[in-house]
Amino acid sequence: MSQRDLIRTSRLATVTLGGRDVSIVVRPSSRARRLRLVVTGSTAIEAVVPTGVSAHDLERFLHTNRAWLTRAVAEALRREASTPRLGLDTRGVVWLGGRALPVAGGRTSGRARVDLREDGVVVHGDPATREAAINRFYRDQARLELDDAVAAEAERLGLRYARLAVRDQKTRWGSCSTNGTLSFSWRLVAAPRTILDYVVVHELLHLRELNHSARFWALLDAFRPAWRDDVEWLRNHGRELHGYNPCVALELLAT
């Protein structure tokens, strides 16, 4: 097998399930010991690929596991249909900490910015630049809350990390690299704080156990006893949260 055939970078794969094409995010991982599928929503499917796996290996793996994947996607669709939506696409509000905050338009001149107030947020600046301002606001808020949560939990757990990154992750809420870098989705700041805290603890504990072994889950039981409730919340609402676009809040503002 040629080295060029090995999967080294993230890519998309497509598999046909029930007569429709489903996209799968293929994520190489040097920590993974085996190929595995992660289904967090009907359109949020990830194939984790260990080092040394080729595109042919992946294709064969997906074929072998087609029946399981069909059932998992069907279950995700059933869960999504039966779970009340959070309403993250509601016009005229933004979401922070699991709460909907009304959005008002401020001055239309000068540098675009967002002011956070107790009763909502005010978006200033030229209408053409407000989207950039609200996106910047969310990443800044995520950085503030994640810095606070990671520092507090790292001290509680007696762990040290190298650095923290806030990213626009499409299928994952967080990750921990072998060099101690913790990465988190900025969308966590829209969820209830307990969900953000769970993801922080989960990734910090990977500094001690770099896999999802029985030892890892035992650590999570010890330091985050209610973690199953957090996972259930993400299972029910993760797809909606991954798709959250705060810029829809601007649609009702006068230009």
pLDDT tens-place string over residues 191-231:
999 999 999 999 999 999 988 899 999 999 999 999 999 99
Number of domains in the chain: 2
The helix (H) or strand (E) run that includes residue 196 is: helix 193-205
Is-contact 189 138, C-beta < 8 A? yes
Residue 1 pLDDT more than 50?
no
Residues 60 and 150 in one domain: no
Residues 152 and 52 in one domain: no
For 37-91, what is the HEC assignment?
EEEEECCEEEEEEECCCEHHHHHHHHHHCHHHHHHHHHHHHHHHHHCCCCCCCCC
Residues listed for the chain? 255
Predicted TM-score of the model (pTM): 0.76
- Could you tell me the residue range of the domain that residue 16 belongs to? 3-82
3-state secondary structure of 93: strand
Residues 160 and 246 in one domain: yes
Residues 68 and 146 in one domain: no
Look up the CATH number of the domain holding residue 156. 3.30.2010.10
Q: What share of the chain is helix, strand, coil (3-state, %, to 5)?
A: 45, 25, 30
Domain boundary among 82, 102, 121: 82
Q: How far is 42 from 44, CA to CA, in rounded Å?
A: 6
Residues in a beta bridge with 124: 113
Residues 73 and 163 in one domain: no
**DSSP strand pairing (174-176 vs 181-185):** antiparallel
- Whether 110 is in a domain gets the answer no
Q: pLDDT of 72-115, one tens digit each?
A: 999 888 888 887 889 998 888 999 999 999 998 888 888 889 99
